[in-house]
């Protein structure tokens, strides 16, 4: 993979950002950027619209939160466990859903996610409506105090970069080539001898695992695992982020997550706080009607038109 | 006995609700032949293709490939055995490059198609072979082009190159010249002739000019059943065929 100038600039910005902006907001953006990128792997590169992806984010969060709080797991092991749990759930849910296409796939993923939502609502170890609160951030490698926001920020940044790298590598791998072929023409991929459902399933598991990674990390940042993260609203929000940023582009979900999280943060602090949902809805409508390829997609088009 | 035949169907039947699309079809495709499947619209030609490649499941009957029963295999598994099909509408991957289209087919045998942790650069070693295949269908200069920008005739040629990449023993071509201008038709017909060496081809084709030029053996379908079989002279002389198909086709061509 070529490391472009753009990536270096972005990395530079990410390294100095916590000195300019509130680190917790930045960490929130990074977690959602990873979540949206993982989601985009399915939507943008395989053509599967999952409408229950929040369940993987939330499962990662709950498992990490519970183990760190009750079993005294270190933050790194806690995150690994959360990611593994999300991957395992993704393996089962993927098996059940990839055979379906289009709206049916979306409905199956939504239904399965709702199933787990009620588990998290009712199960004794999740804290029900209150969720898990006061989860300790702990010490990384036993000596780096993560309760310090700056330390935590760089930890989150490292996780984000790792996850983002995995997604990029997957897209630009032999496996990614097959995924793109399936997205482009599924019957043809079958007629070339590929068991397309196996490939879709593998992509689903990778996407679920990385969504879990995002959720586990987010749980440590906010020291909280709650029903918000497994609610279908969250599944809708990640669709919004991906579409606003630009589905099927590498940086689109990142930009989309930053835009949506930033906007929510900005609005909730001001007088328009009560209108967040209406404003988000309007943005979504405008985006779908006028900027169908999203912010990054539109920029790419302009660059292509004028510079090549 | 059956060694002479690459593919055989025995009493193949496909019923949809209240309608028999393929009615007791027993085909024998001889090794090395170009075998054409013709018939009026709705005669069940494409349905037969879909049954042979398991894009549809037969209601009853058997499919034998090199003497082995493949009736219960999945589509992708049949393709891996060496029966590779094309589609009526051109089956390419539009937003991949022309080279990548062929490489996808070559890649399968490499066994790295699930390797998501490797760089796609590992596929570069297949480029030479891919270019070779593109040259064999006259697309050598288009390797870097985006597939969606190709002309229709070129897309069909690319499709054949992609199919050839799998080195299929039996190629199933569904209306390879459909929707083409005269020049493209001849180019593709020549191409089919060229690639038919060392392999067997079963094709659905409407263009009788192409059929007469290429086919060693012709099976005429009507309302899902076999009307008659034989070489072009035999089949075209059959009054039933003239009534059911040729008469109509001549009128169409005249219009």
Query: Which domains, from first to last, does chain B contain?
Result: 2-92+168-254 (3.40.50.300), 94-149 (no CATH)
For A294, the token pair is: 């999203």
Cβ A175–B107 below 8 Å, yes or no? no
Per DSSP bridges, beta strands B217-222 and B34-38 are: parallel
Query: What three-state secondary structure class fits B91?
Result: coil
What pLDDT is stored for residue B245 in this prediction? 63
Which H, E and C letters describe chain A, residue by residue? CCCCHHHHHHHHHHHHHHHHCCHHHHHHHHHHHHHHHHHHHHHHHCCCCCCCCHHHHHHHHHHHHHHHHHCCCCHHHHHHHHHHHHHHHHHHHHHHHCCCCHHHHHHHHHHHHHHHHHHHHHCHHHCHHHCEECCCCCEECCCEECCCHHHHHHHHHHHHHHHHHHHHHHHCCHHHHHHHHHHHCHHHHHHCCCCHHHHHHHHHHHHHHHHHHHHHHHHHHHCEECHHHHCHHHHHHHHHHHHHHCCCCCCHHHHHHHHHHHHHHHHHHCHHHHHHHHHHHHHHHHHHHHCCCHHHHHHHHHHHHHHC
Joined tokens for residue A6: 């753009």
pLDDT in tens, B202-239: 998 888 888 888 888 889 888 888 888 888 888 888 88
Q: Do B94 and A199 touch (CB under 8 A)?
A: no
Q: Which two tokens stand for residue A261?
A: 């999280």
Say whether pLDDT at A307 is over 80.
no
Predicted confidence (pLDDT) per residue in A221-270, tens digit? 998 888 888 889 889 889 989 988 888 888 889 999 998 888 888 887 77
Mean pLDDT of B136-158: 85
Residue B39 DSSP class: -
Q: Which of A162, A192, A198, A208 to mutate to test the interface with B (most CBs of B within 10 A)?
A: A192
The reply to whether residue B120 touches residue A172, judged by beta carbons under 8 angstroms, is yes
Q: Look at A191 and B85 and tell me if their CB atoms are within 8 Å.
A: yes
- Give the pLDDT of residue A64: 94
**Res. B88: pLDDT tops 70:** yes
State how far residue A100 is from chain B, nearest Cα, in angstroms.
15
Which residue has better confidence, A272 or A136?
A136
Contact A188 B100 (CB under 8 A): no
User: Which residue of B lies nearest to A165 if distances are taken between CA atoms?
Assistant: B117
Predicted pLDDT at B1: 45
Q: Is B80's CB within 8 Å of A206's CB?
A: no
Q: What is the pLDDT of residue A1?
A: 40
A75-109 pLDDT tens trace: 899 999 999 999 999 999 999 998 888 889 989 99
pLDDT greater at residue A140 or residue B201 = B201
Segment B160-196, tens digit of pLDDT? 888 888 888 898 988 888 877 777 788 888 888 888 8
Nearest 5°: the CA angle A89, A95, A101 is 120
The minimum CA-CA distance between A177 and chain B, rounded to whole Å, is 7
Instruction: Give pLDDT, residue A308.
Output: 62
- Chain A residue numbers with beta carbons less than 8 Å from the beta carbon of B104 are 177-178, 181, 189, 192
pLDDT at B224: 85
Judged against a pLDDT cut of 60, whether residue B254 lies above it is answered with no
Contact assignment for A175 to B116 by CB distance below 8 Å: yes
For residue B107, list chain A residues with Cβ-Cβ distance below 8 A. 174, 177-178
Pick A178's closest partner by Cβ from B55, B87, B113: B113
For B54, name the nearest residue in chain A, comparing CA atoms only: A191
Nearest Cβ partner of B116 from A176, A180, A193? A176
Q: Helices A54-70 & A196-222, crossing angle to 10 degrees?
A: 50
What are the φ and ψ backbone dihedral angles of A18, each rounded to 5 degrees? -65, -15
Q: Any bridge partners for residue B95, and if so which?
A: none
pLDDT score of B255: 35
Of A177, A189, A196, the CB nearest to B123: A177
Which residues from chain B sit within 8 angstroms of residue A202, using beta carbons?
114, 116
Of B74, B108, B119, the CB nearest to A172: B119
Whether residue A192 and residue B117 make contact (CB cut-off 8 A), yes or no, is no
| Chain A residue set in contact with B, beta carbons under 8 Å | 1, 169-170, 172-178, 180-181, 184-185, 187-196, 198-199, 202, 206
Asked if B107's CB is within 8 angstroms of A178's CB, the reply is yes
Probe site for chain A from B87, B100, B113, B163 (most A CB atoms < 10 A): B113
């Amino acid at each position: 993979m070529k490391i472009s100038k753009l990536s270096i600039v972005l990395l530079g910005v990410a390294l100095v950002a916590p000195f300019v902006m509130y680190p917790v907001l930045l960490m929130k953006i990074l977690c959602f950027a990873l979540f949206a990128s993982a989601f985009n792997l399915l939507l943008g590169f395989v053509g599967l619209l999952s409408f229950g992806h929040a369940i993987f984010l939330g499962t990662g969060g709950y498992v990490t939160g519970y183990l760190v709080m009750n079993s005294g797991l270190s933050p790194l092991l806690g995150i690994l466990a959360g990611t593994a749990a999300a991957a395992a759930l993704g393996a089962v849910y993927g098996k059940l859903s990839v055979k379906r296409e289009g709206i049916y796939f979306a409905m199956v993923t939504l239904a399965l996610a709702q199933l787990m939502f009620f588990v998290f609502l009712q199960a004794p170890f999740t804290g029900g409506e209150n969720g898990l609160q006061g989860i300790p951030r702990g010490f990384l490698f036993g000596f780096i105090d993560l309760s310090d926001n700056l330390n935590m920020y760089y930890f989150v940044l490292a996780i984000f970069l790792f996850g983002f790298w995995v997604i990029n590598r997957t897209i630009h791998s032999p496996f990614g080539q097959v995924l793109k072929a399936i997205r482009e023409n599924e019957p043809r991929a079958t007629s070339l001898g590929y068991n397309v459902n196996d490939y879709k399933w593998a992509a689903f598991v990778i996407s679920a695992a990385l969504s879990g990674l995002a959720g586990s990390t987010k749980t440590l940042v906010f020291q909280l695992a709650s029903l918000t993260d497994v609610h279908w609203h969250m599944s809708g929000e990640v669709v919004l982020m991906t579409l606003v940023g630009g589905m099927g582009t590498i940086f689109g979900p990142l930009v989309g997550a930053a835009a949506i999280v930033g906007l929510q943060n900005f609005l909730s602090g001001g007088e328009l706080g009560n209108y967040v949902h209406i404003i988000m809805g309007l943005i979504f409508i405008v985006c779908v009607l006028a900027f169908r390829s999203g912010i990054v997609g539109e920029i790419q088009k302009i660059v292509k038109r004028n510079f090549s | 006995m059956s060694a002479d035949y690459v593919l055989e169907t025995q009493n193949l039947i496909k019923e949809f609700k209240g309608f028999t699309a393929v009615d007791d079809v027993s085909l024998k495709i001889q090794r090395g032949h170009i075998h054409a499947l013709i018939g009026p619209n709705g005669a069940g030609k494409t349905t037969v293709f879909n049954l042979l490649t398991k894009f549809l499941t037969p209601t009853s009957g058997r499919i034998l490939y090199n003497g082995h029963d493949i009736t219960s295999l999945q589509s992708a598994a049949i393709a891996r055995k060496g029966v590779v099909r094309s589609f009526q509408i051109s089956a390419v991957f539009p937003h991949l490059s022309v080279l990548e289209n062929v490489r996808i087919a070559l890649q399968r045998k490499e066994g790295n198609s699930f390797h998501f942790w490797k760089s796609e650069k590992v596929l570069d070693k297949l480029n030479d072979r891919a270019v070779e295949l593109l040259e064999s269908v006259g697309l050598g200069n288009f390797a870097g082009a985006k597939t969606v920008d190709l002309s229709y005739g070129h897309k069909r040629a690319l499709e054949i190159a992609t199919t050839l990449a799998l080195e299929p023993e039996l190629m199933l071509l569904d209306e390879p010249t459909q929707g083409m201008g005269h020049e493209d038709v001849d180019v593709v017909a020549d191409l089919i002739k060229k690639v038919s060496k060392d392999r067997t081809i079963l094709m659905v084709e409407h263009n009788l000019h192409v059929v007469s030029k290429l086919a060693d053996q012709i099976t005429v379908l009507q309302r899902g059943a076999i009307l008659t079989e034989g070489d072009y002279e035999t089949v075209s002389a059959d009054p039933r065929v003239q009534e059911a198909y040729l008469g109509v086709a001549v009128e169409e061509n005249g219009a």
